[in-house]
Amino acid sequence: MTTAPANQSGHIPSNIPPEKVILRIEELYRELDALKRQKARLAGLQPGLLNLLWFVCENPEKGVTVTRAAQHLGISPQALSKPINRLLDKGMIKRSVDEKDHRARRILPTPLGRKKAALAGELTQAAQMQIQSEIPAVNIAVLVLDRLISALKKAGKNFA
């Protein structure tokens, strides 16, 4: 569905049915998912591996503990072992022993990992620039999105 939400004069028609909001949110979700997959392809990774790599790259000098990465991704440290091994095999991260707690393991990005994360990040920046060029009042868009998120959370709690 590619119907523009506003007419050519920029005014929003008042006869849009409320159920169209959910359809537009679903379309936005699909577009964001496609963008996420495209970023991962640029980095030569699956989307989940790119999320892990980005998190590791947030602190490139110290890296992150495996436990902290698992918490960030919402999975157990044991479930993170395969994704870590995949990134190790691709040469995008390295593993080291934590200096303070020798039982803990830290994962750090390699130069290749930082390069791949930056490449995928360029697509994010391009998308942000495109959004800013098409939505001059980004703060209003953020406000509307915040309210949509809030409404969806409340609706979900009503059925929990």
Containing H/E element for 105? strand 105-109
At 19, the pLDDT band (50, 70, 90 cuts) reads confident
| Structural domain contains residue 6 | no
| Structural domain contains residue 30 | no
Average pLDDT of the residues of the chain: 88
- Say which CATH number the domain at 52 has: 1.10.10.10
| Structural domain contains residue 154 | no
**Which structural domain range is residue 61 located in?**
39-117
Sequential DSSP letters for 53-94: HHHHHTSTTT-EEHHHHHHHHTS-TGGGHHHHHHHHHTTSEE
**How many domains does the structure of the chain reveal?**
1
At 93, the pLDDT band (50, 70, 90 cuts) reads very high
| Structural domain contains residue 141 | no
23-40 confidence digits (pLDDT tens): 999 999 999 999 999 999
| Structural domain contains residue 70 | yes
| Whether the predicted pLDDT of 8 surpasses 70 | no
| Structural domain contains residue 135 | no
